[in-house]
Amino acid sequence: RELAAFSAAHASSFTSYLPGGECDHRWQPLHAEYREIFEKHVQRFLARESMKEQEFLALTRRYSKNVCGEEAEEWGNFVRQLTMCEDFSHFLEFMKSQEAPGLSSGPSPPEPSSSTSGQHQHLDVSDEMAAFFRCLQHNTARQALADFVLTHALEFVVRSKEHRHEWYLLYQEFGRLFEQSASAALEEAGLSLESLASFMVQTLPYLERSYEIQDFLDVCVPAEDYLSFVDLMKGAGAAALEGSAEVQGSMQERAELEAGEQQQLPGSISTHAQAQAQTHAGEQLAANAHEQEMPPAESQEEVGQRSAEFLAELSALERTQVVRLAFRDFLDAPDAEPAMVCFHQLLGLWPGGLPHTSPGSLFFSELNAAVRPELDRRLSGILDCVERRLTEKGVAAPHGRYCAGPLAGVHCVVCGAGPVGLRAAIELRALGAEVSVFEKRRQFSRLNRLKLWEWVKFDLIGWGARQLMPKFGASAGHLHIGIRQLQLLLWKICLLLGVNVQVGVELFEAPDSVLVVRGADSDHPVTVVPCDLLLEAGGPNSLAWPSAGLSFDVTGTAQATGLVANFERRPGLGEELKEFSWARQFNRELFARLQSELHADLENIVYLRGEEAHYFVMTPRHQGLVAAGILAAVGSPLSSASKEALQVHARAIASFFGLPEACGFAAPTQLFDFSKRRSCRVAMQTLGPGGSGSGGPLLVAVVGDALLEPFWPEGLGITRGFLGALDSAWELSSLRAADFEAARSGQSTGALEAACRAREKACKLLKQIGAANQNQYLLADDRAYGLDPRTRYKHHLLA
């Protein structure tokens, strides 16, 4: 509080942020004063806790690795204050920002003056510019923008609707209204877009200091940035909720209205588009009617020509709308099957197939060429990301770049659409292979949340994660993602690349040495799958081709059990519960209470709030499970656990931390044994000359949990899984279709065997990487990680 009071008291001394120059001589003593206050408080804290400075530093290092959720925000504040003490430029930046008001909270404008006192000032601007700002504040489109915010704000106070399709549609509508408002203001002021842009660039340093520019930014920023738009609407929604009685009436009205609207929802995207096109036609006709009043009259031919042009324009518009809606439906699809359906609906808009761009071009290039012209900038963001990835440099010979398609003509089959199988499928497809992914589950339903390492975050952002999940990786602290969200995200990228994906089908080795798939329904026919390369990505204990004879080592001895419980997220319930991560050694008192009150004998416990569920994961000791009536005795197999007692126990723990009883279970509570972990002795293996029969795989590569079961509390599952997927793809990219043909015909398996030998080097490294020793193995620049192992592992280890 003392620091906050200090910044408030001295913020105005930093006014020479405006023209007039910097005043280091005045600010440096203030910086010293600030540091003194901060240090005084740290010393007081250490004295109170009887802690030495060294111990404190060690604790902060440990803490910063484990902190998450809202605690991470507080931690971020502390670190910021610390940095400001150490670094004058940070201090300066902060003090200046303290003085600049928030985007939407400026006081009402005073009479124009050139004074620099106070928080805002009026800038000397040209007449056109002044007219532009004036028009922008008062034109009718601007009024429409304000009405729009008022009308829709309440839809943004329901958190469970986060990033719903409807929000995105509203965002686009907001963008359109803004464009109308700005173009009307530009026209009225006689100002060109270029002059406005150059004015904005010149006045960049003062952007938040002028009322007029502030007003412009208040609408321009949310129109250009989805997250700002959501913030704006949430703010307006919260403000609206405060005016309770009236608002409740309007919510009621909206609910009734929505119910009515839902009944009238158009059945298909084309009817939707037709409706929009009809509206457009109506507007055009009204405009035409208006024009008819005006002389001079047009000739019959001119009218005919104009009608033909209008109809052509209308059908182009309709097609654009249809493509946009289909594409948006695909991006918003909530599960694997709907994503496939929407994607095929999109492709169905080209009944004769996508137009070919160039001979042998990748499916994605064709899709991109056909779809992109119909999309606006926001929708085409995902295509930009994928395109950038497919054309990036840095993958050197002999492996070739993605666009060189080294694996063209090679049939790769991936067993399992877990995160690692999908990540590998993306890479193989990008290298030009024909890739099929078969997943035996029908739905992506795993709610567990995964902690991701920083490099995985950058990897996914590179492929377009933020376009598919706008808030991906935006919060402070560690990044967590629901496993089903991660699968869905990768699944959609697979579809865009032209991977053949199927759910509800199991892959296995048939007796006559062919690879087959069979649907979940018993009467589903068994189909043979052509396969050169089989990627075993089915998780632990799940190999599709057992006769490869892969053998495993088993590591780990101490008893380690995981308990995972997911509870429903319901609007307004349990939202105040803060995310936490506690280990016994850091909070003995809490763990003692858990034990005495609930028999919960835990090593650690983590609570995270996912998009769809409240997620609790903990490591219970067997004594506690016995005391809670879940296991008969210490060491009893987890499969013998009482399911009822387990649910009761999980509920009691969640209630202990304040989760309301009304949040029911979102999935059955589960126990996992991670005391023993399997690792496959080889990562890639040939199946000998002549392959495994006429159609079976010639090469088997193992990735993900199937290769190496992780110690998942360290977040190793995905990080090692993705590293392994990239390593495998890299070695495979040295092969060509001819190498597989030579192996199939019994001529030679030399090339395949060489790739297998090369693969083992990185695999050995992979098996040693853990959370604590990562710096020993991995390069620091994790934004630069790519397919080539030299971009990820320390070079001397690869030599």
Ligand X SMILES: Cc1cc2nc3c(=O)[nH]c(=O)nc-3n(C[C@H](O)[C@H](O)[C@H](O)COP(=O)(O)OP(=O)(O)OC[C@H]3O[C@@H](n4cnc5c(N)ncnc54)[C@H](O)[C@@H]3O)c2cc1C
Residues that bind ligand X (CB under 6 A): 415-421, 438-441, 448, 450-451, 483, 506-508, 537-539, 542, 544, 562, 564, 617, 672, 704-706, 710, 712, 715-719, 721
Q: Which of 699, 698, 730 is nearest to 398 (CA)?
A: 730
Instruction: Report helix, strand or coil for 393.
Output: coil
Cβ neighbours around 641 below 10 Å, total: 21
Rounded distance, CA 776 to CA 163, Å? 40
669 versus 719: smaller Cβ distance to ligand X = 719
Closer to ligand X by Cβ: residue 600 or 706:
706
Tell the smallest beta-carbon distance from residue 503 to ligand X (Å). Answer: 9
Q: Judged by CB, which is closer to ligand X: 439, or 459?
A: 439
- Tell me how many degrees the CA angle 330-331-332 measures, rounded to the nearest 5: 90
Could you give the 3-state DSSP secondary structure of residue 680?
strand
Q: 747: how many CB neighbours lie within 10 A of its CB?
A: 13
The amino acid present at 247, given as its one-letter code, is V
Spatial contact of 727 and 762, defined as CB atoms under 8 Å apart? yes
Q: Can you tell me which residue has the tokens 């589960």?
A: 670
Nearer to ligand X, 409 or 539 (CB): 539
Residue 641 CB-half CA count within 13 A: 28
Q: Which is nearer to ligand X, 390 or 706 (CB)?
A: 706
- The values of phi and psi at residue 769, to 5°, are -75, 130
Nearer to ligand X, 646 or 706 (CB): 706
- What is the smallest separation between the CB atom of 329 and ligand X, expressed in angstroms? 24
Peptide bond just before 398 cis, omega within 30 deg: yes
Q: Using the minimum distance from each CB to ligand X, give the nearer residue, 451 or 599.
A: 451
Reported as type and span, the H/E element at residue 702 is strand 699-702
Q: Which C-beta is closer to ligand X: that of 406 or that of 717?
A: 717
Minimum CB distance to ligand X smaller for 408 or for 771: 771
**Which lies closer to ligand X via its Cβ, residue 407 or residue 417?**
417
Minimum Å distance from CB 451 to ligand X?
Answer: 4
Q: Which long-range CB contacts under 8 A does 547-553 form with residues at least 24 apart?
A: 547/509, 547/513, 547/692, 548/685, 548/687, 548/700, 550/680, 550/681, 550/682, 550/685, 550/700, 550/702, 551/680, 551/681, 552/678, 552/679, 552/680, 552/681, 553/678, 553/679, 553/681
Q: How far apart are CA 172 and CA 280, in angstroms?
A: 17
Least distance CB 713 / ligand X (angstroms): 7
What is the distance between the alpha carbons of residues 706 and 711, in angstroms, rounded to a whole number?
13
CB of 417 to ligand X, least distance (A): 6
| Cβ-based neighbour number of residue 100 at 10 Å | 18
Smallest separation (angstroms) from ligand X to the CB of 440: 4
Could you give the CA distance from residue 548 to residue 478 in angstroms, rounded to a whole number? 39
3 state SS for 106-175: CCCCCCCCCCCCCCCECCCCCHHHHHHHHHHHHCHHHHHHHHHHHHHHHHHCCHHHCCCHHHHHHHHHHH
**Residue whose token pair is 């507080």:** 74
Nearer to ligand X, 379 or 723 (CB): 723
Where do we find the tokens 């991977």?
499
By C-beta, is 101 or 539 nearer to ligand X?
A: 539
Listed residue (742, 740, 725) closest to 786, CA to CA? 725
Smallest gap from residue 750 Cβ to ligand X (A) = 30
Q: Which is nearer to ligand X, 227 or 560 (CB)?
A: 560
Among 376, 380, 382, which Cα is nearest to 468's? 382
CA distance 797 to 790: 10
Minimum gap (Å) between residue 449 Cβ and ligand X = 7
Return d(Cα 420, Cα 704) in angstroms, integer: 5
Least gap, CB of 688 to ligand X (angstroms) = 23
Indicate the residue among 175 and 710 with the shorter CB distance to ligand X: 710
List the one residue out of 499, 333, 478, 519 whose CA is nearest residue 412: 499
Q: Which residues does 234 contact at the CB level (< 8 Å), separation at least 6?
A: 156, 157
Residue with tokens 């723990």: 653
Residue closer to ligand X, measured from CB, 141 or 654: 654
CB of 3 to ligand X, least distance (A): 35
SS (H, E, C) 588-639: HHHHHHHHHHHCCCEEEEEEEECCCEEEEEEEECHHHHHHCCCCCCCCCCHH
Say if strands 613-620 and 561-568 run parallel, antiparallel, or are unpaired.
antiparallel
Q: How far is the CB of 390 from ligand X (least distance, A)?
A: 23
Smallest gap from Cβ 602 to ligand X, in A, equals: 15
Report the length, in residues, of the chain: 799
Least distance in Å: CB of 323 to ligand X? 32
The least CB distance from residue 730 to ligand X, in Å, is: 18
| Rounded Cα gap, residues 244 and 256, in angstroms | 18
- In the complex, the smallest distance separating the C-beta of residue 506 from ligand X, rounded to whole angstroms, is 4
Residue 624, judged by CB atoms within 10 A of its CB (0-12, 13-18, 19+), counts as buried
Nearer to ligand X, 163 or 441 (CB): 441
Shortest distance (Å) from residue 452 CB to ligand X: 7
Tell me which amino acid residue 783 is.
R
Q: Which residue has the tokens 């699968």?
A: 487
> Which residue, 233 or 452, is less far from ligand X as judged by CB?
452
In the complex, least distance from residue 774 CB atom to ligand X, rounded to whole angstroms: 13
The amino acid occupying position 66 is N
Question: What kind and span of H or E run contains 413?
Answer: strand 411-415
CB of 399 to ligand X, least distance (A): 24
Residue 273 or 493 with smaller CB distance to ligand X? 493
Number of H helices, E strands in the chain: 29, 18
82 burial type by CB count under 10 A (0-12 exposed, 13-18 middle, 19+ buried): middle
